[in-house]
Every structure is written in C-alpha cells, then in structure tokens.
Amino acid sequence: MARRGARAGVVRIVLLLSVPLLLLLLLSGDRRLLKVSDSEFLSLIDRKGERSYDKLLGGLLADGFDERSCRSRYQSVMYRRRPGRRPPAYLVSKLRQQEALQRRCSPGTAAYSRALEQLRGKSGGDTAGAQDCKYLVSISYRGLGNRILATASAFLYAVLTGRALLVDPSNEMGELFCEPFPGTTWLLPPGFPLASYTNFSIATAESYGNMLRNKVIRTDAAGDDVPAFSYVHLDHDATEQDKLFFCDEDQRVLRNIPWLVMRTDNYIVPGLFLVAGFQEELGRLFTEPDAVFHHAVRYLFHPSNHVWGLVARYYDAYLATAQQRVGIPVRVFGSQPNSPELLEQITRCTQKERLLPELLAAADPVAPRPSRRTKAVLVTSLKSWYYEKLKGMYWERAAATGEAVSVQQPSHEEFQRFGARSHDAKAWAEIYLLSLTDALVTTAWSTFGYVALGLAGVRPWVMYRPDNETHVPDPPCGRDVSMEPCFHAPPFYDCRLKHGADTGKIVPQVQHCIDMSWGLKIVHRG
C-alpha cells in the first residue's frame, strides 16, 4: 500500500507541472523520468491535444487485450514521435466486425468443424451449414518482408470478401508476432485436411488458373457449382489465368468457394483496386488510399515480447536521445555485396536531401563550432561494410554543420537464412527500429524497407536502382509518391475490355512505382 500511495503521489506531482515541462518529458520519450507505470504514462497527456499518446491508435486497435502477453501492442506508441494517420470511422467499425467473424469462425467452433467436414468431402453435399463461415488460408513464404506484405494483402482481401483469415504457422509466425484478433487465434491449427498445402505451386491442379484452363470451373457456371476449395497462386511467376483473380467475373466465382488457399510473395492490394466490385468499399474503408498498408500493418503486426525486448533495449541505448533519427535499410542486389557505388549513392542522396550533413575537407584543420544537435543513423544490412564506412566517415572528419552524428547497426547476419528463428527475430526488430526513425532512405525493390515505412507512416526517399552496377544514378534518389509498397508482379489486363492494358492508368488510385517501372502503387489524388 505504501508503494502504491507513493506512486500516486508522484503522479499528482507530475500533473501539477507546467505544460511546457510536461511536454518536454513526454517528447523525450523516456517514461522512466516520470517514474510511473505504462498505463499511467499513457494517461499523462496534454489536454489541448498538442501531444497525445493514444494507445488504441484512434480506434484501430481493439481494447481489452492482456498487455503482459503482448507489451508492444500498447507500448509502441510511446516510442513514436508522430501519431500516424487516423483511421476512418468506417474502417474501425469494419475491423470490429472482422474480429467478431474471426471469433465466430475460429478453430474449435462448430462452424469451423462443419467447414472442415466439407473440405474433407464428408458433408454429404449440404453446404448450408458450412457456408456460415468461409476461409482464406495465407501461406507463410519467403523472407520476413515478403511474408508481412503477403499476410497484410490476404487480410485486406478477407475483410473485403467476408472471410476468416487463417495464417500458416510456418516460419515462426506465432513466435514473431502477437495474435491480432481478440479472443481467438489467427494461426491455422494442426490437422488441416489439405496436408500438402504448403507445397502448392503454379502446377497445382486445384489452382484457380489451372481449373479455369482445364474448364473444371467456369465463370458462367451456377453459383453452387464450385469446388470445396481453390488454390490462389499470385506468386511472382503467376500466369495470365492466375491473375484473372483481379477481374470481377472471376471474383464472383471465388466468392462462392468455401476455402481459398493463397500463396503470394507480393503486396497485391493495388490489384484489388482494379476490381470494380471492390472499389466502392475500398473508398469507404480508406478515405486516404495511400494509407492502406499503414493501417493494415499497424493493426496486424505487433512484435512478440521477445522481439519487443530487442527493440526497446536497442532504442533506449542508441536512439532515444538523438534529436533526429535517419533510417537506411541497405538491400544489395547483384554480385557485389560490398559496393563502393552503392555507398556513394547513399552518401550523395542523404547529403543532397540534407538528411545527413556534408563533411569538411580532410585538409581543413578547423572544426566548426558544435551545434549541440545530435543525429543518429540506423543502418540495417546483412553486411557490416556499409555501416563501417559511414561510421568511419563521421568519425574521421567533422560534419560541416557541427552536428554530432552517430551511426548504428544492430546486427549483420552476412546472408539471409530463411526460417531461422534468431535471424527472423533480429530482422523483425530491425524493421521496427527503422519505423521509429524520423526519415527513411530505402533501397529500390526492398520489401524490408516497405514494411518499415508503412509502420512509420512516412514517404521515403528511394535510391534508384542503377542500370549498370558500376555507375551511380543521377539523381541518386527521389521522394516516393506515397508510403504504400509496390506490387512487383501486377496484372497487365483490362478485365472490362478483355485485352492487355497498362493497369497503371485504369483507376486514379493506382499508378506505376518509381523504383520499379512496371510495378503498381496506391497513391492519394486529393
């Protein structure tokens, strides 16, 4: 009782502080200065709304979770300097409906058992009960960035089509991320009847494209003349028939299939904007189209307690006190992992855009007067070479502005190890740390960078991919048109006119990406 009374006394004292001093403490990001619990800290806000820690992100997140089981869900807001986009009221309402659907159709319910019986072919042809719930199973596949993009895409498609989402638990999906839905699980449990579903590929007979090609299903068939399941192959090697998924008449067929299993290594959401039947609902859900992934990734992906510990400890030790933080995820393509050209591109870009200060000439013996400004640079890469070079630059020579620049890199695994637990945990922690920076400079085509900027809610500077690895592009980078990821393998087909088309010119919300000319990106045209 004495400790509780002392803590309450401290809270009362803090509340009596002047508004400027309270704001200073809040802006510092160090809740330990206030000596209060997390929930008490979240309640210490400026009543005028100048600085507010909204742990539910404007209603995006549901309340009522056990905070100890997933500390990042409500604590991460304290580490962000910007609140992020506010979700539309309709999206918030739809998320609560989806959560209710997930509970009603979750593993262990009667509805789930009936749906499994139908999948096993033991329902006697009576689909009425099983149609209470329809399901989308998302296959966990490829690197962490790809898996997050794919799962977010599957979730948004599930919301649009009234399906319960179940995620393949491979690759430690349950150990890296907290459960996003209250009162249930999103992980597909053991004993799923399609035992080989993780091996489904472009050649799988039950893929939607193959069933169309072989006339197993037809778009002009009756609504009840459909199989119990279909495999949706939207990987990078998807065929033209597979990509008919993005056409209205094909969606009318898919809508009646109780079970869909989806494999993709892409962010397919720009393709959903091409489906005329989805456009009105998407417009109501996302009044700012360029915030689709921002809302989805903040809603779905919360680091597990282990990963959150990695994030919080590193942030407190190396980033918390910096007045500005710049994140640089370095993704290297091609045969030169240590590329002087890429290093030059990074320095040219960051100095041209005044994200990092220029350096005094090596022969200049006079250092500028210290500005007392501090800047932390967070580099993430499989290699340590880029970090070492950038760190050496700002150690060996003074910044022309007098700023103190520190360069940090949490880990360097040397090569990507798919499915390795410690590797993925570090990768997820580094993505999240990048999202806590004030500005991001990403490598073209980097799914790692896409996830970080979506969480951060910022438009990045993108370093253009050179045509020749021995030359630095001029200009070295450009500001992206939105914070949305790029769909790397989109369809090139106009479903209405039934012929090939430039899908970057069909709807105003979708255009081509600046880092991949044939890719599609969602933009906001006010």
The pLDDT assigned to 220 comes to 79
The pLDDT assigned to 397 comes to 92
The pLDDT assigned to 222 comes to 55
Question: How many Cβ atoms are within 10 Å of 23's Cβ, its own excluded?
Answer: 15
Question: How many Cβ atoms are within 10 Å of 15's Cβ, its own excluded?
Answer: 10
- The tens digit of pLDDT for each residue in 198-209 reads 999 999 999 999
DSSP string, 293-319: HHHHHHHH--B-HHHHHHHHHHIIIII
The pLDDT assigned to 363 comes to 66
109 contacts: CB under 8 Å, gap ≥ 6: none
- Cis ω on the peptide bond leading into residue 475 (within 30° of 0)? yes
The pLDDT assigned to 14 comes to 38
The pLDDT assigned to 276 comes to 97
The pLDDT assigned to 39 comes to 36
The pLDDT assigned to 264 comes to 97
CATH of 306-480, one of 3.50.50.60, 3.40.50.300, 1.10.357.20, 3.40.50.11350: 3.40.50.11350
Residue 197 token pair:
């579903």
Q: Is 249 helix (H, G, I), strand (E, B) or coil?
A: helix
243 contacts: CB under 8 Å, gap ≥ 6: 209, 234, 271, 490, 491, 493
Q: How many CA atoms lie within 13 A of 209 on its CB side?
A: 21
The pLDDT assigned to 514 comes to 95
The pLDDT assigned to 131 comes to 66
User: What residue ranges of the chain are covered by domains with CATH 3.40.50.11350?
Assistant: 306-480
The pLDDT assigned to 420 comes to 55
Average pLDDT, the chain: 87
The pLDDT assigned to 23 comes to 42
- The tens digit of pLDDT for each residue in 386-398 reads 999 999 999 999 9
470 contacts: CB under 8 Å, gap ≥ 6: 341
Q: Are 207 and 233 in contact (CB under 8 A)?
A: yes
| Global pTM value | 0.88
Residue 322 token pair:
């910096």
Phi (first) and psi of residue 410, to 5 degrees: -65, -40
Checking phi first, is residue 108 left (phi over 0); if not, alpha (psi -120 to 50) or beta? Answer: left
Residues of the chain with pLDDT under 70: 1-52, 122-131, 221-224, 333-337, 363-368, 370, 413-421, 526
Q: Are 469 and 334 in contact (CB under 8 A)?
A: yes
Q: Is 272 helix (H, G, I), strand (E, B) or coil?
A: helix
**Is residue 215 classed exposed, middle or buried when 0-12, 13-18 and 19+ CB atoms within 10 A define those classes?**
exposed
Distance CA 15, CA 34 (A): 10
The pLDDT assigned to 468 comes to 75
DSSP string, 373-407: -EEEEEEE-SSSHHHHHHHHHHHHS-BTT--EEEE
**Is residue 496 classed exposed, middle or buried when 0-12, 13-18 and 19+ CB atoms within 10 A define those classes?**
exposed
